[in-house]
Amino acid sequence: MTVPRLLGSFAPGTAPAPANPLLVLLPSLGTTTALWDGVVGALRADRRTAALRILRIDLPGHGASPAAAASFTIADLAAAVLAVVDEAGGGVFHVAGVSLGGAVGLELAVTQPDRVQGLVMSCSGARIGTPESWAARAASVRSSGTASLVTGSAERWFAPGFLDREPGGPGARALGALVDVDDESYACCAEALGGFDRSHDLAGVRVPTLALSGEHDAVTTPASMQDLADDIPGARHVALDGASHLAVLEEPEAVAELLAEHLEAVERATEASGARDRGMRVRRSVLGDAHVDRAIAATTPETAAFQDFLTRSAWGEVWDRPGLTRRERSIATLASLTTGGHEREIAMHVRAALRNGLTREEISEVLLHTALYAGLPAANSAFAIAREVFADADAAAAPSPDTND
14 lies in a domain?
yes
- Whether 55 and 151 map to the same domain: the answer is yes
159 lies in a domain?
yes
119 lies in a domain?
yes
- Whether 93 and 171 map to the same domain: the answer is yes
Burial class (CB in 10 A: 0-12, 13-18, 19+), 236: middle
**Nearest Cα to Cα of residue 117 among 312, 317, 269, 278:** 269
pLDDT, mean over the chain = 92
280 lies in a domain?
no
pTM over 0.85: no
CATH number where 163 lies? 3.40.50.1820
- Final residue in a domain of this structure, among 250, 268, 302: 250
Residues 181 and 66 sit within 8 Å (Cβ to Cβ): no
The count of C-alpha atoms lying within 13 angstroms of the C-alpha of 183, restricted to the half-sphere facing its C-beta, is 11
Ranges of the chain whose pLDDT falls below 70 = 1, 13-19, 400-405
Per the structure, the count of domains in the chain is 2
- Whether 18 and 128 map to the same domain: the answer is yes
263 lies in a domain?
no
Helix (H) or strand (E) run with residue 149 in it = none
CATH number where 307 lies? 1.20.1290.10
Q: Which tens digit of pLDDT belongs to each residue from 396-405?
A: 888 766 544 4
- Whether 208 and 329 map to the same domain: the answer is no
271 lies in a domain?
no
- Whether 223 and 323 map to the same domain: the answer is no
Q: Which tens digit of pLDDT belongs to each residue from 177-220?
A: 999 999 999 999 999 999 999 999 999 999 999 999 999 999 99
pLDDT of residue 405: 40
- Whether 138 and 224 map to the same domain: the answer is yes
Torsion (CA) 152, 155, 161, 165 in degrees, nearest 10: -50
- Final residue in a domain of this structure, among 198, 230, 250: 250
Residues 27 and 59 sit within 8 Å (Cβ to Cβ): yes
pLDDT of residue 47: 85
- Whether 147 and 294 map to the same domain: the answer is no
- Final residue in a domain of this structure, among 225, 250, 275: 250
- Whether 75 and 189 map to the same domain: the answer is yes
401 lies in a domain?
no
| Residue ranges making up the domain that contains 232 | 8-250
Q: Which tens digit of pLDDT belongs to each residue from 53-87?
A: 999 999 999 999 999 989 999 999 999 999 999 99
Distance of CA 49 to the CA centre of its chain: 15
